[in-house]
Structure 1
Amino acid sequence: MDNSLRALGDRLRQLRARHGLTQEEFAQIAGIGYKFYQDIEGGRKKEIWLSTVERLAAAYGLRAWQLLMPNMPEGSKVARKVASSRVHRR
């Protein structure tokens, strides 16, 4: 697996724990399928679209670059709900 996707999965897991969310709760907030999100966080996706990274970041009130930077982003907050998309459903 690509190290950047592993790092993204780790970052998402850390943020989810910081905010006390389950994978299912976060997937619902982000407007993506639960199994799809599980695969991202678990490192089972070989590639994901930039729009998916943007959607994941937006669910925490962040920009994509903030989610991907080496240090844990400060000031993240859980969005009420990100607009849904059929593309991100599984």
Structure 2
Amino acid sequence: MNSVERVATRTRELRQKHGLTQQELAEVADMSEKFIQQIEAQRKKEIWVSTVERIATAFGLELHEFFAPDIPENSKLVKKVVSSRVHK
């Protein structure tokens, strides 16, 4: 698995673990929903470390925890999520 695949997979795993839509994760990570979609669909050829840090930080994780072999048990959302139109 290359680094883009790893980031895509871990982002999706953490998002689903916390019951978030892509829109909600985008809000917490201060990114666009389209950007999160592109990451998870592996349509980005390269992902900057600062981007991964923003995603990891949204889940209260350090980079090394984000890239750990198993899904981090200690992840938690750093911001309250405003329900998306999907969850209404």
What is the RMSD of the two structures over their aligned residues, measured on CA atoms? 1.4
Correspondence for 1:50:
49
Which has the larger displacement, 2-11 or 60-69? 2-11
* Structure 2 CA distance for aligned equivalents of residues 25 and 14 of structure 1: 14
Unaligned runs of 5+ in 2: 81-88
* Structure 2 CA distance for aligned equivalents of residues 42 and 64 of structure 1: 21
Correspondence for 2:39:
40
Correspondence for 1:25:
24
Q: Percent identity?
A: 50
* Structure 1 CA distance for aligned equivalents of residues 76 and 58 of structure 2: 8
* Structure 2 CA distance for aligned equivalents of residues 15 and 51 of structure 1: 18
* Structure 1 CA distance for aligned equivalents of residues 76 and 6 of structure 2: 20
